[in-house]
Structure 1
Amino acid sequence: MTLLTHHLHITFEVTGPLEIDNNAGSAVRGAVVNALLNRFCANQTAPTCADCPLVRVCPVAALVAPMRDTDEPGGEQRPRPYVIRPPQGRRYAPGESLTFGLGLFGRAAELFPYIVMAAHVIEFQGLGRRLEENRGRRGGVRLQEIDAINPLTGAKQPLFRAGKRQIQAPGIPIGPAEVASFAITLPEDRLTLRFLTPMRLIDGGRLVKQPALRPLLQRLGIRLTDLSMAYGDGPLPAADARALLSLAERAILERNDTRWIDIVSHSRRTGERTPIGGLVGEAVFSGNLAPLREILVWGSLVHVGKNAVKGDGWYVVER
């Protein structure tokens, strides 16, 4: 599997009172997608990207609504080549910084210039809820900086700084070699998963409300296969996947410090309300975990479970 990921930190200075609901990832994703569509969509009359004759050659569609080629297996649309890592705060005062993350998969990093321009559009759109103290407007923000980061090592590359003309291309790709190098430093028999945003998994038609490695790895294997087929050079071998699931089934939940939270996402376009809640907190697993380390690290990069593209399913693997 040769999937590559790029991870960005995008930082704004808050210029007016700003408040984000609990579904921060959904709010940030909406701001980014709307900015891309408002700034770059060449066919605003099309009801959706799928209905537009330009969909195969449009950079906006490549990010927000990528379509499969006719000979590709799966549904009509590919998995989206990005995930949002939402800001951790909910209310910001003028002068404070607001940072969110954006993970890009495969060649989506080549569309980085569009991300920069979309970030500038967010300055005009505003971010967060409409507040009475802002005269019914969203919170004001001003783009300050964009960095490429390696979430595994903390390495950082400055890409954009306010007031400077030069913009650098993302240059910290994370792929199989980087994942393997980090995974081998993790313990072989005891791992902590810290769920930073709701982990929403369904197993056997039911929501998973207690941490368990087997359903997590089962869904993660499907996600990595979809992403690698769409943006890499092939999936995890089926035999390896079956062996990993068997090990995951035998892992012991040694400590459970998670809780379930209920959150609803509201779509202005369709009017639909979608539950995006799940497990947050820490879970400690023990057992023969050495063969599971790499795939778990991959999951920390691409997210797993429902609504991953909106920021759900973000976790870190800790020693």
Structure 2
Amino acid sequence: MSLLTHHLQFTMVAATPLELGDNAGSAVRGALVNALLDRFCANKDAPTCVDCPLFNVCPVAALVAPMRETGETGGDQRPRPYVTRPPQPRRYAPDETLTFGLGLFGHAAELFPYVVIAAQGIERQGLGRRLQEQNGRRGRVRLLAIHAVNPLTGDRQPLFQADQRQVQVPGIPIGPAEVAAFAATLPENRLTLRFLTPMRLIDKGGLVKRPALRPLIQRLGIRLTDLAAAYGDGPLPAADARALLPLAESATLEYDNTRWIDITSYSRRSGERTPIGGMVGEAVFTGNLGPLREILVWGSLVHVGKNAVKGDGWYVVEG
């Protein structure tokens, strides 16, 4: 199986005015992580997960700060086993619904029950900006439903409904077979990439501010290799990007309707702001793209570039 991804869609309704700025993905990710820590952290005196003696048996650490085991290559920390897919950045009036997504990779799907309880915890802590009209409190929401979804086919499976007691296990995994089948439906000589959230790539020491397939494919190869090693059951053939780089380099950017947006994310823990801006919009590439289709489809599932856990690097690939 190599690597499986599970994609969840959360539907909430605003109970009070709610405002999500351009960093909506960061707001959702922060709300989920804070809810996890609030509900399940058994040692809140530890400065970080890594400093906690319960680290190896803690479900919060498995999602928030996964560390490499002895013998694994790379830095101390594994890539996090999830990405967020943010709601539309805007102001929501009471009774308006909003949806956001969460992708879980490999064995992280086993932590789904904790994610459900964390999503319910957002009801207590609120979401979005602190609003003056609410005396500096965040917007309040109610969790209505959680669905498993297949972003490639549109298939949906209800997992949780607010008026029902039982929660179902996610049953729409996406793996190499599903990716290959969808990739085969795409044309071989013309592909459109629609960057739904900022794509922030570093290439040769600088930011990539114009669509280009070579740095995208190169970074995807590294990311997929790391994810398969950390959360899969073996190597992921599509992750071997070395032979694909010349094809990616020779692709022609036929149409460019992208723009760069600057966004920052604030960390309450560190007190620092992090740039999470990047390219958004649409780009059309032509050339010998058949061999690139599969890895590009994988990228649409796992995101690519900086700040994927905050929702960056989300795109779709179309004919």
TM-score class normalised by the smaller sequence: over 0.9
Contact 2:198 2:280 in 1 (8 A): yes
Opposite residue 129 of structure 1, the aligned amino acid is R
Instruction: Show structure 2 runs of 5+ residues with no match.
Output: none
Counterpart of 1:298 in structure 2 is 298
Opposite residue 314 of structure 1, the aligned amino acid is W
Counterpart of 1:23 in structure 2 is 23
More off after superposition, 28-37 vs 131-140: 131-140
Contact 2:190 2:286 in 1 (8 A): yes
Q: Secondary structure at the match of 1:50?
A: coil
- Compute the displacement of 1:236 (Å): 4.5
Opposite residue 58 of structure 1, the aligned amino acid is C
Counterpart of 2:189 in structure 1 is 189
Distance, in Å, in 2 between the alignment partners of 1:11 and 1:134 is 23
Counterpart of 2:227 in structure 1 is 227
- Compute the displacement of 1:74 (Å): 1.2
Counterpart of 2:97 in structure 1 is 97
Q: For the aligned residues, what is the CA RMSD?
A: 1.2
What does 1:221-300 correspond to in 2, within 5 Å?
A: 221-236=221-236, 240-300=240-300
Distance, in Å, in 1 between the alignment partners of 2:106 and 2:16 is 36
Distance, in Å, in 1 between the alignment partners of 2:115 and 2:314 is 21
- Compute the displacement of 1:237 (Å): 5.5
Residue-by-residue CA offset, 1:240-293 (whole Å, 9 max, x unaligned): 422111110000000000000000111111011111100000000000000000
- Compute the displacement of 1:91 (Å): 0.9
Q: Secondary structure at the match of 1:166?
A: coil
Distance, in Å, in 2 between the alignment partners of 1:265 and 1:39 is 24
Opposite residue 68 of structure 2, the aligned amino acid is R
Counterpart of 2:45 in structure 1 is 45
Counterpart of 1:201 in structure 2 is 201
- Compute the displacement of 1:234 (Å): 3.5
Distance, in Å, in 1 between the alignment partners of 2:239 and 2:169 is 38
How many residues matched?
319
Contact 2:2 2:236 in 1 (8 A): no
User: Are residues 1:311 and 2:311 paired?
Assistant: yes
Residue-by-residue CA offset, 1:105-163 (whole Å, 9 max, x unaligned): 00111111101100111000000001011121100100000000000000000000001
- Compute the displacement of 1:98 (Å): 1.1
Contact 1:188 1:288 in 2 (8 A): yes
- Compute the displacement of 1:70 (Å): 1.3
User: Are residues 1:178 and 2:172 paired?
Assistant: no
Change (3 A) 1:142 1:240: closer
Residue-by-residue CA offset, 1:27-49 (whole Å, 9 max, x unaligned): 11000000000000011111000
Residue-by-residue CA offset, 1:202-222 (whole Å, 9 max, x unaligned): 110011110000000001110
Distance, in Å, in 1 between the alignment partners of 2:240 and 2:159 is 38
Distance, in Å, in 1 between the alignment partners of 2:242 and 2:111 is 36
Distance, in Å, in 2 between the alignment partners of 1:215 and 1:166 is 45
Counterpart of 2:13 in structure 1 is 13
Change (3 A) 1:6 1:238: closer
Structure-2-length-normalised TM-score: 0.98
Distance, in Å, in 2 between the alignment partners of 1:163 and 1:241 is 47
Opposite residue 143 of structure 2, the aligned amino acid is L
More off after superposition, 238-247 vs 279-288: 238-247
Distance, in Å, in 2 between the alignment partners of 1:240 and 1:259 is 30
Counterpart of 2:35 in structure 1 is 35
Opposite residue 208 of structure 1, the aligned amino acid is V
Residue-by-residue CA offset, 1:7-52 (whole Å, 9 max, x unaligned): 0001111000000111111111000000000000011111000000
Contact 2:199 2:306 in 1 (8 A): yes
Residue-by-residue CA offset, 1:58-98 (whole Å, 9 max, x unaligned): 11111111111112111111110000000024210000001
Counterpart of 1:159 in structure 2 is 159
Change (3 A) 1:237 1:184: closer
- Compute the displacement of 1:233 (Å): 2.9
Distance, in Å, in 2 between the alignment partners of 1:308 and 1:71 is 26
Opposite residue 109 of structure 2, the aligned amino acid is A
Change (3 A) 1:238 1:137: closer
